A and B are shown apart, each in its own frame.
Chain A
Amino acid sequence: AQTVTQSQPEMSVQEAETVTLSCTYDTSENNYYLFWYKQPPSRQMILVIRQEAYKQQNATENRFSVNFQKAAKSFSLKISDSQLGDTAMYFCAFSFYNNNDMRFGAGTRLTVKP
């Protein structure tokens, strides 16, 4: 089964600075999705960004971008111009195209300091 590893349990960043959260995964398949989900203190899981494995171009969503390194099985999230509202748990997740079993990493708790 595929696994997702987030090696940074906690991180902090000053407001307006940039932070990068790390994620690695393990799979022998070629077609899959990768995601970053945000879970603020309210507990609601919110999709931040999504990457399809066949796309070489890194996904971006406003201040959020990823560095997808398929050969290295690495999928990091960069948050630019960090805001206080970015404080949350961030989960990296993996899903096959034709499989309902989405796998999540253990999460990284990000704190944005004023």
Chain B
Amino acid sequence: NAGVTQTPKFQVLKTGQSMTLQCAQDMNHNSMYWYRQDPGMGLRLIYYSASEGTTDKGEVPNGYNVSRLNKREFSLRLESAAPSQTSVYFCASSAGLNTGELFFGEGSRLTVL
């Protein structure tokens, strides 16, 4: 089973460039999430989508946009990348509000020069 799949796994950008991280899950989950992981800070929620057609801001949404394309796919876009957005990004999904457990992708390492 693929679970949660993220692409690309690695990306290097120059300041000001834009890019989109793609995420797809095949578990028929309602909720999807984007987190960033920085050294010494754990994972911080950027945006989430509780169900198809809805998105909400998390703890650190500035500089990002998201699209819940359908139930399977949830993309994260950086419109004008900044060095502060250098991080490892994780997509996750869960079955719904009352289950708690998240299923994660393998992460995407983004470097902004």
Chain A positions within 8 Å of B, measured between CB atoms, are: 1, 4, 6, 9, 33, 35, 42-47, 50, 52, 91, 95, 97-107
B100: interface (CB < 8 Å): yes
Cβ-defined contact, A100 with B97, below 8 A: yes
List CB contacts (< 8 Å) of B94-113 with chain A.
97-98, 100-102, 104-107
Cβ-defined contact, B41 with A106, below 8 A: yes
8 contacts between A and B (CB under 8 A): A1-B59, A45-B90, A45-B92, A47-B102, A52-B100, A101-B48, A102-B33, A103-B45
Enumerate the 7 nearest inter-chain pairs by beta-carbon distance, A residue then B residue, closest first. Answer: A33-B100, A104-B42, A45-B104, A104-B43, A43-B107, A100-B48, A106-B42
Question: Number of A-B pairs whose CB atoms are under 8 Å?
Answer: 59
- Give complex CA distance A31, B73 in Å: 30
Interface of A is mostly: loop
Max chain B C-beta neighbours (<10 A), residue from A9, A100, A107: A100
Max chain B C-beta neighbours (<10 A), residue from A44, A91, A98: A44
Residues of B within 8 A of A44 (CB): 104-107
List CB contacts (< 8 Å) of B18-66 with chain A.
31, 33, 40-45, 48, 50, 56, 58-59
Nearest chain A residue, comparing its CB with the CB of B106 = A44
Residues of A within 8 A of B92 (CB): 45
Interface of B is mostly: loop
B88: interface (CB < 8 Å): yes
Interface size on B, residues (CB 8 A): 25
Cβ-defined contact, A95 with B100, below 8 A: yes
Nearest chain B residue, comparing its CB with the CB of A33 = B100
Nearest chain A residue, comparing its CB with the CB of B9 = A43
Cβ-defined contact, B41 with A100, below 8 A: no
Cβ-defined contact, B100 with A35, below 8 A: yes
Contact of B106 among A1, A42, A102 (CB under 8 A): A42
- Give complex CA distance A20, B42 in Å: 19
- Give complex CA distance A99, B58 in Å: 11
Nearest chain A residue, comparing its CB with the CB of B101 = A47
